[in-house]
Structure 1
């Protein structure tokens, strides 16, 4: 190689590396998005909320909270229960800002609210349209298809 070729290669090397990195990044993004075929609807669950958890698989305390909601019992876990849940994580289907409400699921041995919640949406206070459970403080959700028996 002559001196001119070496200089040209040194200038092109960073450009080539950047191009390869960008191609790899876009390829990863495309692969991650292939599964949804571009369908984005407010009625669809995000992947972290697409799992189902049936009533009988939930902790006893979650089952108790569901029964309390259905019975119209006053929430007994402070000012947050039965109130607005903002879905700020964006893991549940997009709805208006007042659609979701949250309830604490008691955790034995804890003297605070802990991480477990039931989140409901729509309907009425005693007959929500949708039900979700999170055991990890909104990091993931599962829908409860048989919450109302």
Structure 2
């Protein structure tokens, strides 16, 4: 009976992990980056965010879903994303600033694979 119960628990954990359930794991940790360490284009985008625009890309300000779960988990609509221009790219490129409702700002230069919280 104990082996059967262990099997069911292991199966439940495996299925849950495959579908992205957290089972009480801690929130993700995010490194930090200072304002002066950001690329010039990221500083310009952050200034636009703080002054309310205008923004150069139509998708700037859309809700960021945090589907990768690399930022602290919050309800949908908490985060918004803004494009950071990437020199030499004709598309939006991989760089973004993500803002949170509590006035936090995150920078990614690898299209959501990693984030750094901006220290100002």
Q: Does the alignment pair 1:55 with 2:35?
A: yes
**TM-score calculated relative to the size of structure 2:** 0.76
Counterparts of 2:82 and 2:63, CA distance in 1: 10
CA apart distance, 1:145: 2.1
Are 1:98 and 2:77 matched, yes or no?
yes
The structure whose residues are more often helix, as a share, is 1
Whether 1:70 aligns to 2:60 is no
Asked if residue 140 in structure 1 is aligned to residue 114 in structure 2, the reply is: yes
Matched, 1:85 2:64: yes
Larger C-alpha radius of gyration, 1 or 2?
1
TM-score after normalising by structure 1? 0.62
**Structure 1 residue 107 displacement after superposition:** 0.8
Deviation at 1:74, TM superposition (A): 2.0
Other structure's SS at 1:53 match: strand
How many correspondences in the alignment?
Answer: 97
Question: Which residue does the alignment assign to 1:14?
Answer: none
Higher percent of residues as strand: 2
Q: CA deviation at 1:141?
A: 0.2
